[in-house]
Structure 1
Amino acid sequence: MRTSRHSTLRTGLAAVAMLAVLAVLAGAAYEQIGRYRAARDFPAPGRLVDIGGRRIQLDCRGGGSPTVVFEAGLGVDGSLSWSAVQPKVAAHTRACAYSRAGLMWSDPSEHPPGARQAAQDLHAALANAGERGPFVLVGQSLGGLYSVGFTRDFGAEVAGLVLVDPSHPEQVERVAHFMTESRSMRSRIGVALAPFGVLRAAAPVLLPQAPHRSAHEMQAIRAFAPKSLRTQLAESDATDASLAEAKGFRDLGDRPLVVLTAMAPYTAAELRGMKITPEQGRQVQAIWKHMHEEMAAWSSRGRHLLVADAGHDIQLDQPQVVADAVLSVVEAVRRNSR
């Protein structure tokens, strides 16, 4: 009797193991099919520029000088972060949006992510695509510090900047007594299981339809989500290093500069995510506003503008405000060159 029970148990375990193997194989096949369909159904806007064995997606439109270059914040949408702003700017001057390495259509990099690596990749992509300065850099959130880093490394090519609700080098320590940073273990597990189709299947839930985006854009973002989410997590892990690196450079000279600050109160979901009360949220926002006032002073020609009714993604909530700020810097650069 005992032998029979052991045999039944072994048979059951073998069946479970076989089902697990089949599930893994099916998931891997589902992911590979999804990658094929993503490339087929959502071709890269603009072009894929070779920067030495890997490609960066660069989408340049319009004509005229200076050329505006958009740098996305910490997210998964790459160049599509600027889809509501870029056409408005491209109607008046050359305007380029791109996806950092590992986001959307761009190939992953073997180098760790960060401000310096982003600057080097962007500079190589612009040069290899034949795009020449002067450049006006437009960076949102962490992309704001990446734009400042590009100015540090390639300042002769940068004529002006627009920082859209940008990160500040000291933001963590200045709000540390209000909140503690947490990076979800579920995100790491999801990324680890991405090769087996888990993230692709969960993409509609993880990335619901946004009110300011078209259905086609959301479908494209979800199609590349397994790759982009891995990059987003790596960039998030490198944030502390990027902030520390940015502390050493705060001199933008006399370049025209506009810093935009989102002034909409934090939503209930945002407060829950930060684990703070509404009153603490107001205090954090006041600190955020003050940090942006400091950043505007990094240039002798800096301006600080408050944007009502806009959350952190001002470029989606109030794209015309961002476009107007960009074009004001473009016009200032043109006046300087006359």
Structure 2
Amino acid sequence: MAALAILLAAGGALWNWAATQYYREHYPAPGKMYTVNGHSMHLYCTGSGSPTLILDSGLGDDWTVWQKVQPTLSKTTRVCSYDRSGLGWSDELSPEHDANTLADQLHALLQAADIRKPIILMGHSMAGVYDRAYIAHYPGDVAGMIFVDASSPDQFKRFPPQILENLQSYYSTRLKWLTVFGIARATGKCEQIVPGLEFERGFIYANNCKISVVDTNFAEFNDIDHSSDETRHTGPFSNLPILVMTEDPQIFANTDSDSIPPEIGKKSSILWESMQEDLKHLSSNGRRIIAKGSGHYVEVDRADLINREVPVFIQQVRSGQVPADNGTTKVE
């Protein structure tokens, strides 16, 4: 039995490695690779115009999550999605994955790619924290910020402890070994394709069960406290144009989870709402839109809303005018 178990484990590991190699060879990443700190980073730019919009993905995600919005937004200005250190097609640049390190790496990437400043940063989830580090380090580089259901540096101090415990359970070594031995791929966890991203299927297959990508997920998660400490005191950002786009609080509060009791979900939803309002108030020139019917991935669930509102925001940045609905929170 022991010999059979070893044989199955070895076969699963070999199959996962071979599948990963197959998809990475047959689905080379679009865009270009740039050398940053002696390593290769992936940047995918489309469209033309200024300021350039930089799309920064959430924890563990890569450029593919933006592909329901990048094509449309590229009709308004130049838009670039990229892979952070160790994710997607980017090499791991260093063992550190804290906000300050990632901000410096993004800055170096934009320099290597000769991206003209200033830029607009658009960050989903944990990237909202990383982007705050960027503007703290390079304030002259940024003409506007868009937070897409973005994290707060204080969220795990404010959330009930069950939320962090649930995430810690997910980001456990168990997930890595399920990936190593091919169990995750065999059970379809590498192939969860978001509706509307069917074109990116091969790219997603190539990376979702790549061992080094899973390791990077753990590394980013383990550096959350460090990233939060680095960015907790960033802001306010004077009159910098800010747009906050948030998931529907009813979706958050009613998320079906065996590990999160309903009362904890409702309490967390209220706290998340408060933190999203805090993001809006990081500037005297900020507004917020709640995406009706959307979960955490607003760029997927309500791509139509982002494709409509972000071009309006870009025009606001270009004109320098404060919008008539400045300071408001609306549901759309």
Label 1:39 to 1:336 Cα distance change in 2 as closer, same or farther (>3 A): same
Measure, in 1, the Cα distance between the counterparts of 2:163 and 2:20: 38
Answer yes or no: is 1:154 the counterpart of 2:150: no
- Name the SS of the counterpart of 1:29 in structure 2: helix
Measure, in 1, the Cα distance between the counterparts of 2:269 and 2:174: 32
Give TM-score scaled by structure 1 length. 0.85
Answer yes or no: is 1:239 the counterpart of 2:219: no
Match of 1:310 in 2: 294
Measure, in 2, the Cα distance between the counterparts of 1:126 and 1:111: 21
From 226, 234, 255, the counterpart of 2:209: 226
Residue 83 of structure 1 deviates from its aligned partner by: 0.5
Answer yes or no: is 1:283 the counterpart of 2:267: yes
Label 1:93 to 1:30 Cα distance change in 2 as closer, same or farther (>3 A): same
Residue 63 of structure 1 deviates from its aligned partner by: 0.6
Label 1:225 to 1:18 Cα distance change in 2 as closer, same or farther (>3 A): same
Q: 1:71-91 CA deviation, whole Å, 9 max, x = no partner?
A: 001233x01111011111111
Aligned CA-pair RMSD: 2.5
Answer yes or no: is 1:100 the counterpart of 2:84: yes
- Name the SS of the counterpart of 1:102 in structure 2: coil
**5 Å matches for 1:1-338?**
19=4, 22-23=7-8, 25-76=10-61, 78-176=62-160, 179-182=163-166, 183-184=168-169, 187-192=172-177, 194-202=179-187, 204-205=188-189, 207-214=191-198, 216-227=199-210, 228-266=213-251, 270-272=255-257, 275-277=260-262, 279-336=263-320
Percent sequence identity over aligned pairs: 30
Residue 297 of structure 1 deviates from its aligned partner by: 0.9
- Name the SS of the counterpart of 2:217 in structure 1: helix
Residue 43 of structure 1 deviates from its aligned partner by: 0.7
Label 1:295 to 1:35 Cα distance change in 2 as closer, same or farther (>3 A): same
Q: 1:24-61 CA deviation, whole Å, 9 max, x = no partner?
A: 55344334422321221111111111113211110001
Letter aligned with residue 255 of structure 2:
E
Label 1:246 to 1:256 Cα distance change in 2 as closer, same or farther (>3 A): same
Match of 1:9 in 2: none
Residue 193 of structure 1 deviates from its aligned partner by: 5.8
Letter aligned with residue 42 of structure 1:
Y
Residue 68 of structure 1 deviates from its aligned partner by: 0.2
Residue 336 of structure 1 deviates from its aligned partner by: 2.9
Q: Could you tell me whether the CA contact under 8 Å between 2:46 and 2:79 is conserved in 1?
A: yes
Match of 2:325 in 1: none
Residue 185 of structure 1 deviates from its aligned partner by: 6.7
- Name the SS of the counterpart of 2:11 in structure 1: helix
Q: Could you tell me whether the CA contact under 8 Å between 1:178 and 1:284 is conserved in 2?
A: no
Letter aligned with residue 148 of structure 2:
V
Residue 267 of structure 1 deviates from its aligned partner by: 6.7
- Name the SS of the counterpart of 2:320 in structure 1: helix
Label 1:68 to 1:108 Cα distance change in 2 as closer, same or farther (>3 A): same
Stretches of structure 2 that go unaligned for 5 or more consecutive residues are 322-332
Residue 269 of structure 1 deviates from its aligned partner by: 8.2
Label 1:50 to 1:307 Cα distance change in 2 as closer, same or farther (>3 A): same
Q: 1:6-30 CA deviation, whole Å, 9 max, x = no partner?
A: xxxxxxxxxx565555445534433
- Name the SS of the counterpart of 1:181 in structure 2: helix
Residue 142 of structure 1 deviates from its aligned partner by: 0.6
Q: Could you tell me whether the CA contact under 8 Å between 1:191 and 1:226 is conserved in 2?
A: no
Letter aligned with residue 307 of structure 1:
A
Measure, in 2, the Cα distance between the counterparts of 1:335 and 1:207: 43
Residue 150 of structure 1 deviates from its aligned partner by: 0.9
Label 1:273 to 1:243 Cα distance change in 2 as closer, same or farther (>3 A): farther
Match of 2:329 in 1: none
Give TM-score scaled by structure 2 length. 0.87
Alignment size in residue pairs: 318
Judging by fraction of residues, say which structure has more helix. Answer: 1
Tell me which structure has the larger Cα radius of gyration. 1
Q: Could you tell me whether the CA contact under 8 Å between 2:117 and 2:141 is conserved in 1?
A: yes
Measure, in 2, the Cα distance between the counterparts of 1:28 and 1:264: 41
Measure, in 2, the Cα distance between the counterparts of 1:223 and 1:169: 31
- Name the SS of the counterpart of 2:250 in structure 1: coil
